[in-house]
């Protein structure tokens, strides 16, 4: 059957009908362990009762009001996010790319409102991924996403990941901000060392630039802190968030200090759907769980257990796994075999993992996973590695053709 959906996705031949916790069930009854969580989205797993209840109750009341009227649930969620972070204000969006667009516009407007409209350039890093809008593909700087879509949006200067000299050379009077993921996701789970993040913060302070963090993938508990930058003990001026913040409901947010947001006055930015009552109900329900005592401890404990299991997996399968890296429940395995083959081998064991750049597979399980889920995933990964090793072995001499 030919599909009427625009063919921009290479979908696996799997159809999921229901889910519970870290598990997904296909239309033919197979149970998959979900270590992708919809690309770090289902932070609280599938069908979390508290989220289901919040969505159902809100759906029976009101779905949409627009941003023309008051939004009490949005006010509450914004206040809770501000209280839990560096931020004073929050702008709600529907996706990560829109959270980045808001962040980019805010950083530019900050300097414009201070009388320096030519100061609009933003430094980004090789391997970055910030979304698929015209500005965010320019920010990400990856040729494969930019080519064929007309002139690249002006104002982004990309430097090699971890190259301080190149970074300093790229800064000029027109540089408004530095934009970075504290731990690159799509780029291949490449962490920015805490000391480097601190150095970027200092550099921004010295040069009057804003530090903009893309925590779309790393945020909302994924690394074992509410936001990944907390590991480095620094605070950004602006931060883009999405994915886990809605637990599976499409939403994102741009968080900022009052100073960084000072150019964003009434009418300068907006969205029809952002902050929709359904999203706000679910967002508040997600925070109920993530901010509860012990939740982040659980993430850190599960991360430790998973990393221990993965370290021994790497020792047992050195021909398959080259390196393990990452923070919390955002872990990458750099491979000796093609990552697409690894994803298929894991799927054959009814385990979902996700490919990333630098020939890495990402493990991004729901943050609510249990010890038993971790141990089960380790066993399935072990079998997948064995299958890949068997496939690599030359056929035995004299074996039938």
125-133, 170-178, 192-200, 310-318 -> range binding ligand PLP (CB under 6 A): 125-133
CA atoms of 274 and 125, how far apart (whole Å): 28
Binding of residue 223 to ligand PLP (CB under 6 A): no
One of 100, 228, 324, 335 touching ligand PLP (CB under 6 A): 100
One of 129, 156, 227, 249 touching ligand PLP (CB under 6 A): 129
Do the Cβ atoms of 13 and 1 come closer than 8 Å? no
CA atoms of 327 and 222, how far apart (whole Å): 8
CA atoms of 229 and 71, how far apart (whole Å): 29
Binding of residue 274 to ligand PLP (CB under 6 A): no
Binding of residue 131 to ligand PLP (CB under 6 A): yes
Q: What is the DSSP string of 98-145?
A: HHHHHHHHHHHHHHHHTT-TT--EEEEETT----SSHHHHHHH--HHH
2-10, 129-137, 344-352, 382-390 -> range binding ligand PLP (CB under 6 A): 129-137
- CA torsion through residues 181, 237, 297, 77, sign: negative
User: Number of residues in contact with ligand PLP, rule: CB under 6 A?
Assistant: 15
Residue position matching structure tokens 């982004």: 156
Binding of residue 217 to ligand PLP (CB under 6 A): yes
Binding of residue 190 to ligand PLP (CB under 6 A): no
Minimal CB distance residue for ligand PLP = 96
CA atoms of 338 and 340, how far apart (whole Å): 5
CA atoms of 130 and 212, how far apart (whole Å): 12
107-115, 127-135, 189-197, 204-212 -> range binding ligand PLP (CB under 6 A): 127-135
Q: How far is the CB of 115 from ligand PLP (least distance, A)?
A: 31
Binding of residue 130 to ligand PLP (CB under 6 A): yes
Q: How far is the CB of 61 from ligand PLP (least distance, A)?
A: 26
One of 51, 73, 90, 97 touching ligand PLP (CB under 6 A): 97
What residues between 12 and 41 interact with ligand PLP by CB under 6 A? 39
25-33, 95-103, 114-122, 346-354 -> range binding ligand PLP (CB under 6 A): 95-103
How far, rounded to the nearest angstrom, does the alpha carbon of residue 232 sit from its chain's CA centroid? 18
CA atoms of 129 and 331, how far apart (whole Å): 17
Binding of residue 191 to ligand PLP (CB under 6 A): no
One of 34, 101, 157, 214 touching ligand PLP (CB under 6 A): 214
CB closer to ligand PLP out of 303 and 330? 330
Alpha helices in 291-362 (DSSP H): 295-316, 339-348
Q: How far is the CB of 100 from ligand PLP (least distance, A)?
A: 6
H or E element that contains 392: helix 371-392
CA atoms of 358 and 333, how far apart (whole Å): 10
Binding of residue 242 to ligand PLP (CB under 6 A): yes
24 token code pair: 């997904």
CA atoms of 146 and 138, how far apart (whole Å): 7
Closest CA to 87 of 324, 258, 253: 258
Q: How far is the CB of 153 from ligand PLP (least distance, A)?
A: 15
Binding of residue 142 to ligand PLP (CB under 6 A): no
Binding of residue 181 to ligand PLP (CB under 6 A): yes
Binding of residue 216 to ligand PLP (CB under 6 A): yes
8-16, 151-159, 178-186, 343-351 -> range binding ligand PLP (CB under 6 A): 178-186
Do the Cβ atoms of 162 and 195 come closer than 8 Å? no
CB closer to ligand PLP out of 152 and 336? 152
Binding of residue 93 to ligand PLP (CB under 6 A): no
Q: What is the DSSP string of 175-243?
A: EEEEEE-SEESTTTSEEPPHHHHHHHHHHHHHHTPEEEEE-TTTTTTTTSSSSGGGGGT---SEEEE-G
Q: How far is the CB of 111 from ligand PLP (least distance, A)?
A: 23
CB closer to ligand PLP out of 74 and 246? 246
Residues that bind ligand PLP (CB under 6 A): 39, 95-97, 100, 129-131, 181, 185-186, 214, 216-217, 242
């Amino acid at each position: 059957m030919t599909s009427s959906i625009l063919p921009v996705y290479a979908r696996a031949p799997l159809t999921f009908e229901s889910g519970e916790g870290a598990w997904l069930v296909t239309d033919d009854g197979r149970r998959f362990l979900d270590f992708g969580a919809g690309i770090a989205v289902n932070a609280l797993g599938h069908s979390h009762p508290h989220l289901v209840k919040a969505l159902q109750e809100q759906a029976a009341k009101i779905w949409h009001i627009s941003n023309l009227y008051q939004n009490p649930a949005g006010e509450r969620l914004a206040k809770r996010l501000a209280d839990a972070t560096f931020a004073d204000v929050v702008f709600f969006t529907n996706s990560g790319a829109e959270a980045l667009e808001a962040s980019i516009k805010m950083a530019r407007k900050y300097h414009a409102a201070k009388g320096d409209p030519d100061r609009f350039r933003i430094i980004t890093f090789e391997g970055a991924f910030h979304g698929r809008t015209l500005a965010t593909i320019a920010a990400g700087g990856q040729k494969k996403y930019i080519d064929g879509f007309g002139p690249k949006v002006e104002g982004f200067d990309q430097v090699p990941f971890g190259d301080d000299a190149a970074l300093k050379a790229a800064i000029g009077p027109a540089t408004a901000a530095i934009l970075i993921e504290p731990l690159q996701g799509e780029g291949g789970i490449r962490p920015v060392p805490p000391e480097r993040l601190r150095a970027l913060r200092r550099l921004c302070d010295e040069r009057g630039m804003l530090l903009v963090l893309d925590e779309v993938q790393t945020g909302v508990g994924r690394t074992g802190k509410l936001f990944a930058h907390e590991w480095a003990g620094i605070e950004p001026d602006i931060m883009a968030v999405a994915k886990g913040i809605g637990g599976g409901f499409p939403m994102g947010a741009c968080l900022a200090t009052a100073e960084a947001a000072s150019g964003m006055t009434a009418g300068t930015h907006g969205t029809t759907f952002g902050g929709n009552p359904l999203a706000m109900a679910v967002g508040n329900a997600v925070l109920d769980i993530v901010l509860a005592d012990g939740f982040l401890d659980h993430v850190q404990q599960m991360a430790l257990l998973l990393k221990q299991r993965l370290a021994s997996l790497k020792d047992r399968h050195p021909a398959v796994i080259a390196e393990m890296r990452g923070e919390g429940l955002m872990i990458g395995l750099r491979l000796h075999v093609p990552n697409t083959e690894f994803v298929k081998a894991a799927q054959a064991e009814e385990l979902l993992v996700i490919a990333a750049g630098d020939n890495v597979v990402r493990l991004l399980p729901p943050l609510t996973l249990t010890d038993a889920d971790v141990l089960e995933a380790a066993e399935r990964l072990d079998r997948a590695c064995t299958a890949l090793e068997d496939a690599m072995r030359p056929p035995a001499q004299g074996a039938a053709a």
